[in-house]
Amino acid sequence: MAKGKRQSSNDGQVSGADQFIPRIDTEVAGVRFQNPVWTASGTFGYGKEFSHLIDLNELGAIVVKGISPEPMEGNPSPRIYETESGMLNAIGLQNVGARRFLTEKLPFLRTLRAQCIVNVFAYSTEDYVRCLEILNEGEGIAAYELNISCPNTRCGGIVYGSDPKLTEEVVAASKKAARYPLFVKLSPNVTDITVFARAAEAAGADALSLVNTLVGMAIDIETRRPRLWNVTGGLSGPSIKPVALRMVYQAARAVRIPIVGLGGISTTEDALEFFIAGARAVQVGTANFYDPGTSVRLVQGLRDYCQKKRLHLSQIIGSLEVPERPTPMGSGN
């Protein structure tokens, strides 16, 4: 296991042609991250589960499994189903609850160089606020990521994430309650992502994470039953990357606050596409399941790309050049 081989933050000066050392650290909502490669909520547990396999100190941040004010038991099995280049899940946000997170999980996370971002989930605005108030007692949290977009809980987050008025309401109330910067994780299951990006920004979000999973389903043709107990589930993995990338691109043009991109990222090239589209950081999700080394490999891959191109990360972010066209945003049939 590599042991913090290289410090990612360095002076980054261009001091002679062969001495170029790229800077890949990034800042989101006033928080500095040693690099822009994070692990996505629900795919990395509480970090410790991966400590035997990778050097957690190499990561920019760990976004922990969605935390609710009370512990949640989750959905019955089957909860997951593999699809072409992806997977469906309907876990139902099983988690230890805010209090146990603070006492059992946070102390370990605090010891890491990777920042800790806490994904927060609840069923009502009051409960979002209550959850944040409990978590506010914790030290060493870099930011909150408000999950208003989980597709797998009854009358849950998706309601907030698919109604701009409710998005504004829950974000405004949460922002008021939050002691740490507030990221809002948006749902891709909407017609126009920019409406929700603007709503969250207007309500005080410090940054946006997008996207959560796409609602999908699969059917067993022998039994003619759904493959998932929950009937529908969230689709993730490489198959959703083009959709996620398009939404990051659109949102980045619609708002001023930073965007954190995720959705099917499994290679350095994937991550770079998101940076070029305007993401200030990226999260690796489903790839953690089948290849736990992905995120650490991406950090190195990003460094290598920057070195080769003689660019700092900041010069890549939002550097997309769209050639002028008569119809600039065609649907591309």
Q: Using CB under 8 A as the criterion, which residues of the chain lie in contact with another protein when the complex forms?
A: 42-45, 49-50, 52-53, 65, 70-74, 76-82, 84-87, 89, 91, 94-97, 229, 237-238, 286, 288-293
C-alpha to C-alpha distance for 74 and 68, rounded to whole angstroms? 12
Q: Tell me how far, at minimum, the Cβ of 117 lies from another protein, in Å.
A: 16
Other Cβ atoms closer than 10 A to 76: 11
120 vs 317, which CB is nearer to another protein? 120
**At CA 290, angle to CA 316 and CA 72, rounded to 5?**
95
User: Do the beta carbons of residue 143 and residue 180 sit within 8 Å?
Assistant: yes
292 vs 318, which CB is nearer to another protein? 292
Instruction: Tell me phi and psi for residue 276, to 5 degrees.
Output: -60, -35
127 vs 169, which CB is nearer to another protein? 127
C-alpha to C-alpha distance for 217 and 88, rounded to whole angstroms? 7
42 vs 188, which CB is nearer to another protein? 42
Q: Tell me how far, at minimum, the Cβ of 253 lies from another protein, in Å.
A: 30
12 vs 238, which CB is nearer to another protein? 238
Question: Given its phi and psi angles, is residue 307 left (phi above 0), alpha (psi -120 to 50 degrees) or beta?
Answer: alpha
User: What tokens does 232 get?
Assistant: 């529908």
Q: Tell me how far, at minimum, the Cβ of 266 lies from another protein, in Å.
A: 9
Q: Tell me how far, at minimum, the Cβ of 51 lies from another protein, in Å.
A: 10
**Looking at 116, 131, 150, 306, which residue is catalytic?**
150
Per residue, the 3-state secondary structure of 196-262, as one string, reads HHHHHHHCCCCEEEECCCEEEECEECCCCEECCCCCEEEEECHHHHHHHHHHHHHHHHHCCCCEEEE
Q: Tell me how far, at minimum, the Cβ of 311 lies from another protein, in Å.
A: 29
Q: Peptide bond before 188: cis, by omega within 30 degrees of 0?
A: no
Nearest of 19, 10, 35 to residue 268 by alpha carbon: 35
Residue 150: active-site member: yes
Q: Catalytic residue numbers? A: 150
